[in-house]
Amino acid sequence: MTFADGAGLTTDSDISWGDGLYADDGWAAVPSEHPGRWSYVNASGTCTAAFRGGVLGEAGGMDDREATDAVLEHQAGADWLGPELLSDDIFLPHEQSDPAVAQRQFSYTVNEYGYFMAARAFVQADYSVWVTVTCEGEPVGPVAQEVLSKNVIAIDE
């Protein structure tokens, strides 16, 4: 689903993560006290993957791409280094016959601390999803790609 395709969704559209790490021996669940949020730590204890899905909120006339960038900036907080680091990529769809889901992402590494974040906002459905992967002492890029390859987005229009 492209960013433009998101305009065809409605508030009745159902969007959710397909959690691919829950049965993965290489990852262990970390308890969360926040609804709509869950996390995993890898077997070596060097990386964490944190997921969220929930209400987008006021998008102020933005389209899906603009709202996605705003979600990334807001959720990254102090880890936000600016829009020049953003790039386009995809979340895998739940069903192979469905189109991939366009998303925006960024990553950086400083002093062996790696940070990766990918997100997608669906303005018409008033929903957003994002994942953050952090690693210390291990390259974040390959771990983020593993996480993205095992977790999918399901969209029921």
User: Is 101 part of any domain?
Assistant: yes
Instruction: Look up residue 150 and give its two tokens.
Output: 């095992």
Q: Please give the pLDDT value at position 25.
A: 96
Residue 134 DSSP class: E
Query: 29 in the Ramachandran plot: left (φ > 0), alpha (ψ -120 to 50) or beta?
Result: beta
Q: Please give the pLDDT value at position 79.
A: 82
pTM, entire model: 0.94
Q: Please give the pLDDT value at position 106.
A: 95
- How many whole angstroms separate alpha carbon 121 and alpha carbon 102? 10
Q: Please give the pLDDT value at position 35.
A: 79
User: Is 28 part of any domain?
Assistant: no
Structural domain of residue 124, as residue ranges?
Answer: 4-11+37-150
Is the Cα torsion angle 48, 27, 32, 83 positive or negative in sign? positive
Q: For the chain, 157 residues long, give each residue's pLDDT as a single digit of tens.
A: 999 999 999 999 999 999 999 999 999 999 888 878 999 999 999 999 999 998 998 887 999 999 999 999 999 888 888 888 999 999 999 988 889 999 999 999 999 999 999 999 999 999 999 999 999 999 999 999 999 999 999 999 8
Read off the CATH number of the domain in which 144 is found.
Answer: 3.40.1000
User: Is 54 part of any domain?
Assistant: yes
User: Is 52 part of any domain?
Assistant: yes
User: Is 47 part of any domain?
Assistant: yes
Give the total number of structural domains in the chain: 1
Q: Please give the pLDDT value at position 36.
A: 80
- How many whole angstroms separate alpha carbon 48 and alpha carbon 64? 27
- How many whole angstroms separate alpha carbon 49 and alpha carbon 145? 11
User: Is 66 part of any domain?
Assistant: yes
Phi and psi at residue 98, to the nearest 5°: -85, 155
Query: 69 in the Ramachandran plot: left (φ > 0), alpha (ψ -120 to 50) or beta?
Result: alpha
User: Is 84 part of any domain?
Assistant: yes
User: Is 98 part of any domain?
Assistant: yes
24 by Cβ neighbours in 10 Å (0-12 / 13-18 / 19+) ranks as: middle
Is residue 72 within 8 A of residue 119, CB to CB? The reply is yes
